[in-house]
Chain A
């Protein structure tokens, strides 16, 4: 297994368009996370799945954002009606385990979104 993969690596879109990103976690990892990282900042938590269930969402995740993990394996993150403020690196991470002690999270390479 080569780790968490994300596709595409780069996406340029025009304001108002919809975009969708895909994340494939490490095999058998039951937890999957989405983070957003803007230039010069650390990643910020967006949402989290345990298997196919979305269990937590940050208030950063506006109603234009939706995430799915239909079969408990890969996940998609869709942004509708993109805005220039959505420009960022979108990172996916996965982990194996339960809440305590917190399991280590392993990140993918990210999808860099540019909204023109």
Chain B
């Protein structure tokens, strides 16, 4: 089945700098890659997603890139702000599931230093 690996597990950046989180997946048939942000005591919040027919997608300060050949995808946050501090999860949706279930990475705890 699908396996998603995420790096780094923790990341600390200076406010205003950029943050990059990288993920790899194992199932070449996966075709949907969402990113979630989870704050303490809350459920995961969808922040951006990308589908396999697109190589890059941007939404304000957030961008995702997808390399299907290498089976990896990345989240880029520019001009980081204190409210960006949270745990970020990458995920992949394998085609072999009729449920379109999501397989999550283990998360990256992002801290923004003032």
Contact = CB atoms under 8 A, between A and B. Distances in A.
Interface of A: 4, 6, 31, 33, 40-45, 48, 55-56, 91, 95, 99-110
A57 B99 CA distance: 10
Interface string B19-52: 0000000000001101010000111111001010
Contact of A48 (B45, B101, B107): B101
B106 interface: yes
A105 B107 contact: no
Given A43-B44, A43-B104, A106-B46, A33 B34 contact: no
Q: Which of B31, B91, B99, B105 has the most CB of A within 10 A?
A: B99
Contacts of A6: 43
B100 interface: yes
B32 A102 contact: yes
Interface string B59-76: 000000000000000000
A116 to B, nearest CB: 20
Contacts of B105: 42
A48 B46 contact: no
20 contacts: A6-B43, A40-B107, A42-B107, A43-B89, A43-B102, A43-B104, A45-B101, A45-B102, A45-B103, A55-B98, A91-B44, A102-B93, A102-B100, A103-B100, A104-B49, A105-B34, A105-B46, A109-B42, A109-B43, A110-B42
B34 A108 contact: no
B32 A101 contact: yes
Contacts of A110: 42-43
A48 B99 CA distance: 7
B106 A41 contact: yes
B98 A107 contact: no
A41 B104 CA distance: 9
Closest CB pairs A-B (n = 3): A42-B104, A102-B100, A107-B43
